[in-house]
Chains A and B, each alone.
Chain A
């Protein structure tokens, strides 16, 4: 069975601070995909990034960066110089190959509040 743990339920930071959202996953499959989604109050789940299990290269996209470490089964997400518009719930998710590959296993989400 697959599992995604986001230990941080809620985080508050002051604007311009850096913040890291943690994600730890469990799976016995060797082929899998990891995702981060942003859910603002409007409700839409906004796709941020996908990473496959064979690519441990870290990625940077503007103020966002992701650190994938298979050794610790972690896929952490850092926002640099946070802004009020970053306030949202962030979900980490896992999809595996084989049976059940059609669905995303979500973590419980981390609510990020960026205070002006």
Chain B
């Protein structure tokens, strides 16, 4: 099983809403990542969790709040987003954060903020 599952696939939310994106993997990977991808751009790293601990926050605004409740799950809590936050949000996992030997990505959540 080399699958990273993300839910929901699509999400439309208002600027005052609170929503969460979910990511799950059962490959025993201990590093999990959130990326943001705007249209026609490459993915940009947002957060890295290593062994369920947040190790990297790439200067992401506080309206994005990650959570890693266990080694298989990664959430991204959204609150008071702006229309410019509309993007494809990709989750990824890898065996460890060193060298990023291989990373598997989910299908992403297409988020639209209205």
Q: On chain A, which size bracket covers the interface?
A: 20 to 34
Q: Do A102 and B56 have beta carbons less than 8 Å apart?
A: yes
| Proximity bits, B21-64, A CB within 8 Å = 1, else 0 | 00000000001010000001111010010100001100000000
Contact of B110 among A43, A95, A97 (CB under 8 A): A43
Task: Check if B103 sits within 8 Å of A104, measured CB to CB.
Answer: yes
Provided the pairs A44-B106, A44-B107, A103-B48 are in contact, do residues A95 and B100 lie with their beta carbons within 8 angstroms? yes
Range of interface residues on chain B?
Answer: 20 to 34
Q: How far is the CA of A47 from the CA of B106 in the complex (A)?
A: 11
Beyond A45-B90, A47-B105, whether A101 also contacts B98 by CB under 8 A is yes
User: Would you give the shortest CB distance from B113 to chain A, in whole angstroms?
Assistant: 17
Count of A-B contacts judged by CB separation below 8 Å: 63
Contact residues in A for B108 (Cβ distance below 8 Å): 43-44
Knowing A45-B90, A102-B31 are in contact, say whether A91-B102 is a contact too (CB < 8 A). Answer: no
- Residues of A29-72 at the interface with B, using a CB-CB cut-off of 8 Å, are 31, 33, 35, 37, 42-47, 50
Stretch among A12-20, A75-83, A105-113 lining the B interface = A105-113
Query: B100 contacts which chain A residues (CB < 8 A)?
Result: 33, 95, 101-104
Given A43-B88, A101-B97, 19 other A-B residues pairs in contact with their CB atoms under 8 A: A33-B101, A42-B107, A43-B107, A43-B110, A45-B92, A46-B105, A91-B42, A91-B43, A95-B100, A101-B100, A102-B31, A102-B33, A102-B48, A102-B50, A102-B97, A102-B100, A104-B45, A106-B43, A107-B42
Which residues in A have some Cβ–Cβ distance to B below 8 Å? 31, 33, 35, 37, 42-47, 50, 91, 95, 97, 101-104, 106-109
